[in-house]
């Protein structure tokens, strides 16, 4: 009997453990983990997706950019309103709290338009290591294009240059349909199609930009969107169709899915900006902190440059020795004790240092979010400082 009970208990425990891990495996922080983003040179854009703390408890989430884009592309990742340049534990988020994860991309005028740029980041719960996602962001710098079309004639302009379409836009059930190939060429997408073996007519049409593929089936309201390994389906209001030998597709769906902004001006004008520019919000932090070498800091101190220097070590270490003029804020109480920037202090250079450079880099993430616009982390920490030191009483 004892052996039987032991067997039952073992089975129940094994079933519970397996069920737990199965449940954890089914839970996903994000429904999408690959993103293809087109951005015009000299502009900025922003992409956001829903994000939920799936735990029944408070949890911080580590946001870590594990592969950075080149210097001519700026990337900041925003979770629940906190902007991360490199790495930070954001939160805590409340149990089951729903919020947003966003990517701010800033593209310089010198960005390479011939390449697809990749970045990678990790987002994971600090309290539950199984709850994490690896996110791939593919960035395509492009030249800005502005298109204008009309639903009552074949006249169009591309960056101000006038042209006449062979097949004018057509409004069907309130949706504007446009020539498949022409639309793709204007949005710098590769276009392709497949033929039905049965009807010997066009069966599907596709647009490809970098890692993103949009496939539409003639006569079907189901469109497929593939970004790297992520595959989604979306329902169209009006299916693609063929008229007079030309394939017509929904203008707004194709344009917006590829990253354009579509505007309608009654009674018949359509304006398309590609790629879409998304302005920086007033409350959004897009300040980037940087490292500073001890020699460069020494030069600023010698020149008596106006600086705010903060020693983030514990109080005993600070009292033992610190950089002349440094103020003390313990790293462990940074979020409560560090002064929030004011109009008088937001532009003053801030230098942070700790025992090593690791903690001061984490601190720099918080300090730029506190409103400071000129923040530096001392490279290699306090041991790299070879100048004079002070002691606190």
Q: In the numeric block, which tokens belong to residue 269?
A: 């004008």
Residue 305 is predicted with a pLDDT of: 82
* Distance between start and end Cα atoms, the chain: 73
Domains and CATH numbers, the chain: 32-142 (2.60.40.2310), 145-274 (3.30.457.10), 290-384 (3.40.250.10)
Q: What is the pLDDT of residue 3?
A: 53
| Bridge partners, residue 149, by sequence | 156, 270
* Catalytic option among 18, 107, 285, 354: 354
Ordered per-residue pLDDT tens for the chain, 393 residues: 555 444 544 544 444 444 444 434 446 788 899 999 999 999 999 999 999 999 999 999 999 999 999 999 999 999 999 999 999 999 999 999 999 999 999 999 999 999 999 999 999 999 998 899 999 999 999 999 999 999 999 999 999 999 999 889 999 999 999 999 999 999 999 999 999 888 888 899 999 999 999 999 999 999 999 999 899 999 999 999 999 889 999 999 999 999 999 999 999 999 999 999 999 999 999 999 999 999 999 998 888 888 999 999 999 999 999 999 999 999 999 999 998 899 999 999 999 999 988 999 999 999 999 999 999 999 999 999 999 898 876
Can you give the three-state secondary structure of the chain, one letter per residue?
CHHHHHHHHHHHHHHHHHHHHHHHHHCCCCCCCEEEEEEECCCEEEEEEEEECCCCCCEEEEEEEEECCCCCEEEEEEECCEEECCEEEEEEECCCCEEEEEEEEEECCCCCCCCCEEEEEEEEECCCCCCEEEEEEEEEEECCEEEEEECCCCEEEECCEEEECCCCCEEECCEEEEEHHHHHHHCCCEEEEEECCCCCCEEEEEEEECCEEEEEECCCCEEEEEECCEEEEEECCCCCEEECCEEEEEHHHHHHHCCCEEEEECCCEEEEEECCCCCCCCCCCCCCCEEECHHHHHHHHHCCCCCEEEECCCHHHHHHCECCCCEECCHHHHHHHCCCCCCCCCCCCEEEECCCHHHHHHHHHHHHHCCCCCEEEECCCHHHCCCCCECCC
pLDDT at 25: 41
pLDDT recorded at residue 129: 86
Backbone angles phi, psi at 297, to 5 degrees: -65, -40
| CA-based radius of gyration for the chain | 27
Q: Does this model's pTM top 0.85?
A: yes
Angstrom CA distances, 331 to 120, 353, 389, stand at: 28, 10, 20
Active site residue 107: no
- Give the pLDDT of residue 11: 47
Contacts of 31 by beta carbon, 8 Å cutoff, 6+ apart: 49, 50
The rounded distance, in Å, linking the Cα atoms of 320 and 314 is 10
d(CA 118, CA 91): 27
pLDDT of residue 392: 75
């Amino acid at each position: 009997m004892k052996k039987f009970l032991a067997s039952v208990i073992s089975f129940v425990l094994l079933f519970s453990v397996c069920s737990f891990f199965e449940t954890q495996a089914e839970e996903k922080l994000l429904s999408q983990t690959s993103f293809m983003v087109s951005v015009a040179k000299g502009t900025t854009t922003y992409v956001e997706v829903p994000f939920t703390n799936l735990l029944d408890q408070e949890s911080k989430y580590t946001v870590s950019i594990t592969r950075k884009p080149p210097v001519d592309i700026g990337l900041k990742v925003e979770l629940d309103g906190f902007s991360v340049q490199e790495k930070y534990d954001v939160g805590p988020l409340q149990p089951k709290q729903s919020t947003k994860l966003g990517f701010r991309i800033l593209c310089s005028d010198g960005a390479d338009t011939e390449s697809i740029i990749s970045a990678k980041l990790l987002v994971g719960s600090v309290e539950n290591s199984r709850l994490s996602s690896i996110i791939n962001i593919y960035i395509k710098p492009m030249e800005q294009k502005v298109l204008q079309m009309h639903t009552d004639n074949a006249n169009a302009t591309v960056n101000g240059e006038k042209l006449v379409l062979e097949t004018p836009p057509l409004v069907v059930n309130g949706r504007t349909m446009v020539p498949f190939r022409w639309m793709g060429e204007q949005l710098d997408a590769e276009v392709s199609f497949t033929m039905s073996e049965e009807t010997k007519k066009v069966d599907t049409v596709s647009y490809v930009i970098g890692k993103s593929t949009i496939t539409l089936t003639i006569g079907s309201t189901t469109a497929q969107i593939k970004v790297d390994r992520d595959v989604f389906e979306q329902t169209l209001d009006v299916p693609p169709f063929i008229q007079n030998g030309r394939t017509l597709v929904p203008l707004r769906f194709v344009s917006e899915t590829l990253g354009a902004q579509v505007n309608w001006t009654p009674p018949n004008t359509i304006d398309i900006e590609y790629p879409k520019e998304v302005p920086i919000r007033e409350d959004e932090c897009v300040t980037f902190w940087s490292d500073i070498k001890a020699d460069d800091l020494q030069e600023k101190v010698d020149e008596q440059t106006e600086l705010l220097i903060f020693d983030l070590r514990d109080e005993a270490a600070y009292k033992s020795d610190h950089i002349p003029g440094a103020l003390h804020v313990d790293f462990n109480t940074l979020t409560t004790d560090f002064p929030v920037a004011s109009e008088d202090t937001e532009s003053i250079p801030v230098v942070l240092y700790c025992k090593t450079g690791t903690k001061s880099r984490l601190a720099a993430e918080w300090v730029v979010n506190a409103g400071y616009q000129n923040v530096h982390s001392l490279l290699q920490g306090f041991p790299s400082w070879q100048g004079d030191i002070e002691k606190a009483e």
